[in-house]
Amino acid sequence: MEQTHKHKKLYIKTWGCQMNVYDSNRMVDILSALGYKQVNSPEDVDMIILNTCHIREKAIEKVFSELGRLRPYKQAKESKGGKMLIAVAGCVAQAEGDIIMKRAPYVDMVFGPQVYHQLPEMVLKASSDERVINTEFPTISKFDSLPDEHTIEGASAYLSIQEGCDNFCTFCVVPYTRGAEYSRSAREIIDEAHRLVDQGVLEIILLGQNVNTYHGAGLNGGTWKLANIIRAISEIDGVERVRYSTSHPRDMSDDLIAVHGEIEKLQPFLHLPVQSGSDKILESMNRKHTADHYREIIARLRKVCPDMAFSSDYIIGFPGETEEDFEATMQLARDVNYASCYSFKYSSRPGTPAANLKEGIVPDHIASERLARFQALINEQQTAFNQTCIGRTPPILFDRKGKKPDQLSGRSPYFQSVYVQGNERLIGHIIPVKITQAFDNSLTGEIEIYEDGSKD
């Protein structure tokens, strides 16, 4: 009798930062070797993975509520005699693995961000009804055993070059969930970049929790820094754009600032989280830089690359923040004038040093009111920045279809989302677009001429 080969179905839901997005894609790659194929709905699948984020409050509650929503799918499958594995991965799994094992007995696998390369063994165990918890920090890096094959959608791809963090900002869980800092070798990174380009990738976004602390084995002995990696990646034929994220102001070294003036492919936009504009608060956060140090970095970058634009992360309402400290934060944002910016109300995370601060706790309604004032300022800046693009014709990298019919979505050099009406064949190309309208969070424009010289 002829047997039809059937793929197993995998549903993955991802929260958190771009590192988690990268990790989810890599899990898909590992599991594809075991016959799994990613699908968009949890119905009737063979495996569910929740790749979780622990950065702010209610992280574990979100995971339990999602598990509660998904559990009936598992019950439905099992009542028909089938099997569905449920896994919780990522930073909540790392931090709260034991609680998840206890409170959700229908979860089959719990594992942290540094061990997902062991998925084949873990799946084998879980398939024979042995529950798996794996929150080790292995001595051999996962990068040594990830598959070469990549599932890439679109023309822009993340490439993880550095992981973990040794900075221990007092509010942050990352050093505990991701572990100590680790840099991949230049050889591995360059090989991975070549494989991405072979699949049609035009833009490479170098990733790390602290990407500019990168210090890995160079190509010919010695240690390379991020600036060396940027140079090497931009020299690869087929790479049109390079970005990197996320950086720490303390590690914006001279050589890194210099490459912004030298390498055309390095895009004129930088996400540089600062967290606060008050030196007192920055010190209490253990950020190891001042507000003026940050201003100076921005000024130096604008000097080598005059059209450079910036985004940042700010925490509002950190313990000890007075109205005066908050005004210093507003002033820093005014001085920088951001193209976009994220801001969050401080959220106390158990186990971090700031969770023990007892003095100057900012009442919630005051933190909310300050956050609203800050976000109003940022909205103004963002809208004004977007307005300056009207009438210009920046090159847009089209990476996917838009939500409306015949609509395409792409990114400008400043990482703005740009929507146009256009033929799908433009996906995976960089085309000049005349910007016609600006909104708070996106731009629209018209394609004047296609790269082959045609008009439609």
Binding site for ligand F3S (CB under 6 A): 16-17, 19-20, 53-55, 90-91, 173-174, 177-178, 209
CB of 443 to ligand SAH, least distance (A): 25
Check residue 18 for interaction with ligand SAH (CB under 6 A): no
The answer to whether 217 and 224 have CB atoms below 8 angstroms apart is yes
* Complex with ligand SF4: residue 317 or 402, whichever CB lies closer: 317
Bridge partners (DSSP) listed for residue 311: 271
Check residue 282 for interaction with ligand SF4 (CB under 6 A): no
Nearest to 357 by CA among 264, 305, 283: 283
Check residue 209 for interaction with ligand SF4 (CB under 6 A): yes
CB of 173 to ligand F3S, least distance (A): 6
Question: What's the CA gap between 229 and 244, in Å, rounded?
Answer: 10
Q: Which of 243, 248, 265, 370 binds ligand SF4 (CB under 6 A)?
A: 248
Structure tokens at 369: 């009111």
CB of 22 to ligand SAH, least distance (A): 14
H helices of 167-308, in order, are 174-177, 186-198, 226-234, 254-262, 279-284, 291-304
* Complex with ligand SF4: residue 167 or 379, whichever CB lies closer: 167
Angle 67-71-76 from CA coordinates, rounded to 5°: 160
Check residue 86 for interaction with ligand SAH (CB under 6 A): no
Question: What's the CA gap between 120 and 143, in Å, rounded?
Answer: 15
Question: What's the CA gap between 8 and 82, in Å, rounded?
Answer: 12
Nearest to 416 by CA among 438, 451, 442: 442
CB of 296 to ligand SF4, least distance (A): 19
Specify the stretch interacting with ligand SF4 by CB under 6 A; choose among 168-176, 185-193, 295-303, 359-367.
168-176
Question: What's the CA gap between 312 and 387, in Å, rounded?
Answer: 20
Question: What's the CA gap between 453 and 255, in Å, rounded?
Answer: 39
Check residue 313 for interaction with ligand SAH (CB under 6 A): yes
Question: What's the CA gap between 290 and 98, in Å, rounded?
Answer: 39
Question: What's the CA gap between 291 and 274, in Å, rounded?
Answer: 8
Specify the stretch interacting with ligand SAH by CB under 6 A; choose among 136-144, 171-179, 401-409, 416-424.
171-179
The answer to whether 165 and 181 have CB atoms below 8 angstroms apart is yes
Question: What's the CA gap between 237 and 194, in Å, rounded?
Answer: 9
Check residue 210 for interaction with ligand SF4 (CB under 6 A): yes
* Complex with ligand F3S: residue 16 or 394, whichever CB lies closer: 16
Angle 349-275-355 from CA coordinates, rounded to 5°: 20
444 binds, among ligand SAH, ligand SF4, ligand F3S, none (CB under 5 to 8 A by kind): none
Of 172-191, which residues contact ligand SF4 (CB under 6 A)?
A: 172, 174-175
Nearest to 441 by CA among 345, 342, 306, 335: 342
Grouping H, G, I as helix, E, B as strand and the rest as coil, residue 261 is helix
Q: Which of 31, 48, 165, 274 binds ligand SF4 (CB under 6 A)?
A: 165
Q: Which of 31, 47, 155, 174 binds ligand SAH (CB under 6 A)?
A: 174
Question: What's the CA gap between 176 and 165, in Å, rounded?
Answer: 9
Q: For strand 430-438 and strand 395-401, is the pairing parallel, antiparallel, or unpaired?
A: antiparallel
Check residue 214 for interaction with ligand SAH (CB under 6 A): no
56 binds, among ligand F3S, ligand SAH, ligand SF4, none (CB under 5 to 8 A by kind): ligand SAH
Check residue 172 for interaction with ligand SAH (CB under 6 A): yes
Instruction: Give phi and psi for 261, each to the nearest 5.
Output: -95, -10
Peptide bond into 246 cis (omega under 30): yes
Q: What character string, x for contact with ligand SAH (CB under 6 A) and - otherwise, covers 411-450?
A: ----------------------------------------
* Complex with ligand SF4: residue 175 or 422, whichever CB lies closer: 175
Bridge partners (DSSP) listed for residue 274: none
CB of 23 to ligand F3S, least distance (A): 8
Specify the stretch interacting with ligand SAH by CB under 6 A; choose among 126-134, 169-177, 231-239, 331-339.
169-177
CB of 344 to ligand SAH, least distance (A): 4
> CA torsion angle for 251, 256, 258, 264 (degrees, to 10)?
-140
CB of 369 to ligand SAH, least distance (A): 17
Q: Which of 42, 97, 273, 422 binds ligand SAH (CB under 6 A)?
A: 273
Chain residues binding ligand SF4 by CB under 6 A are: 165, 167-169, 172, 174-175, 209-210, 248
Would you tell me which residues interact with ligand SAH (CB under 6 A)? 55-56, 171-172, 174, 209-210, 246, 248, 273, 275, 313, 315, 344, 346-347, 349
